[in-house]
Amino acid sequence: MNKQSVLVVDDEPDIRELLEITLMRMGLNVACAEDYTSATRLLQTQSFDFCLTDMKLPDGDGISLVEFIQQHKPDMPVAVITAHGNMELAIKAMKAGAYDFVSKPVSLDKLRSLIENGIQTSSTPAIHDPQSRYQIIGQSKQIIELRNTIQKFARNQAPVFIDGQSGTGKELVARQIHAQGARSKAPFIAVNCGAIPGELMESEFFGHIKGSFTGAIQDNPGLFRAAQGGTLFLDEIADLPLAMQVKLLRVIQEKSIRPVGAHHEESIDVRIISASHKNLSELVTTGQFRQDLYYRINVIGISVPALHERSEDIELLAEYVLQKISRENNASYSLHTSALSALKTYHFPGNVRELENILERSCALTDNSCIQEEDLHLPEQQNAVTNGVSLLDRTTELETEELEKALTRNRWNQSAAARQLGITLRQLRYRCEKLGLTKKM
């Protein structure tokens, strides 16, 4: 069996030698390069299973090398070594496609774990199980693009933030990212951040030692340790209190936790995927969510489309749900064309979850196996599209008009316009940026 090979790129001979000895003791073949030019030359002439590069190189930087590898060897994981505390560069590297990062001074234990996981990633084929109950159903342009995005980032270790309205299937996306990556055989732990009482939050996340507080009658491993080697999905992360946001940020940066009552920290190897139906960037602006945590969890951002944005998928989704209900009830339900037409014109403020609920209720209440339009009992469409313009579009139009009028009246003096509108200058600038409002020459 052939040994697996690692390319080490660093301009300091002592560090190259230390890394080479460490990796050779792991039973790996090691090749070294002292700069970007020699690294790209080796990559073009030899085959490697993993690349480890310093961020600073004499004739370039680690991000340029990550981009080169993404272009020429997209299946090969590459990790970067960053200066201690320089999370901005680490995040930039992962956005460029880096598998992961390690900070100086390099912890050899963390380095070994990173490389072992990275090599496993490169040798593990992506898994897509069409029979899985966690399928993303649809053939619309938006869903095809979503599947491609999931496949692209599943084998990366960067934190992922999933945004989308309630009921769109954010947890399904998180489960697909987990299932298609190298962590697929390890645990996937999902937690709703809004469902944990504030006083128990630290214990639930990080665990506790028996006797560390009143009621701690036994050790609790906590969610991070339960997800060790796998994925921790933090649903509705916007509901985390600010004090917990600080602690979560530190855990993500240091990759270690300290259980309540413990005296020492423990290293963790967990991929963080988070989600929220709330607009986190707006919560950052209002001070309800920490900006540094937002940038840390949002290294890779994925948006899940609302159901009304992909109405061509409604028929496929309805068929899938009815087949599931039929199996569970030993029956055979179908949808009349009138019922399908009604579903296609409904706005679905509750998205896919609402579609499932409507069909489950219809199957439970109908006396027929073929569901008619009247069996659906669709609610009044207060959110429906009127005269070709949705309520959301109309609201955005009106807001843009009012902001433009105020700015024009005040000759685009933003401070004066903000005072006239009764909002802060910061709020005005944020709204202008979001709506794309710029001074007209």
In whole angstroms, give the CA distance from residue 299 to residue 156.
11
Q: What is the CATH number of the domain that holds 324?
A: 1.10.8.60
Which of 280, 303, 326 corresponds to the end of one domain? 303
Residue identified by tokens 């460029």 is 96
206 with 258: CB under 8 angstroms?
A: yes
Report pLDDT for 368. Answer: 84
69 close to 9: Cβ distance less than 8 angstroms? no
Pair 14, 45 in one domain: yes
CATH label of the domain that carries residue 418:
1.10.10
How much is the average pLDDT of 371-379?
Answer: 90
Task: Pick the last residue of a domain from 353, 376, 399.
Answer: 376
| Angle in degrees, CA 416, 422, 424, rounded to 5 | 70
pLDDT of residue 432: 82
Q: How many structural domains comprise the chain?
A: 4
Tens digits of residue pLDDT in 82-113: 886 677 888 888 888 888 888 888 888 888 88
Helix (H) or strand (E) holding 376: helix 373-376
Q: Do both 299 and 316 map to the same domain? A: no
**Count of alpha carbons within 13 angstroms of residue 13, beta-carbon side:** 0
- For residue 75, give Cα distances in angstroms to 78, 315, 414, 435: 10, 36, 49, 38
pLDDT classification of 189: cutoffs 50, 70, 90? very high
Distances (CA, A) of 173 to 161, 286, 303, 323, 407: 10, 28, 10, 22, 41
CATH assignment of the domain containing 66:
3.40.50.2300
Starting at the edge strand found earlier in the chain, the sheet holding 100-103 runs 29-33, 5-9, 50-54, 78-82, 100-103
Beta strands at 60-61 and 56-57: parallel, antiparallel or unpaired: antiparallel
Instruction: Please give the angle made by the CA atoms of 161, 162 and 165, to the nearest 5 degrees.
Output: 145
d(CA 137, CA 416): 50
Are residues 292 and 145 located together in one domain of the fold?
A: yes
CA-nearest of 78, 29, 74 to 52 is 78
162 close to 150: Cβ distance less than 8 angstroms = no
Query: 294 with 312, same domain?
Result: no
Q: What is the pLDDT of residue 18?
A: 92
Predicted confidence band at 385 (pLDDT cuts at 50, 70, 90)? very low
Residue 391 has a CB neighbour count (10 Å cut-off) of 13
The H or E element that residue 100 is part of is strand 100-103
pLDDT at 388 over 70: no
- Do 295 and 147 lie in one domain? The reply is yes
Residue 278 and residue 257 share a domain: yes
Same domain, 347 and 323: yes
- The verdict on residue 133 lying in a domain is no
Q: Which two tokens stand for residue 23?
A: 């990796």
Q: Please tell me whether residues 105 and 228 are part of one structural domain.
A: no
pLDDT tens digits along 216-270: 677 788 899 999 999 999 999 999 999 999 999 999 888 899 888 888 888 888 9
Domain that includes residue 46, residue range: 5-123
The CATH number covering residue 181 comes to: 3.40.50.300
Residue 211 within a domain: yes
Are 24 and 101 in the same domain?
yes
Look at residue 156 and tell me whether its pLDDT is greater than 50: yes
Residues 246 and 227 placed together within one structural domain of the fold = yes
What tens digit of pLDDT does each residue of 115-133 get?
A: 888 887 666 555 555 545 6
Cis omega (within 30 of 0) on the bond before 105? Answer: yes
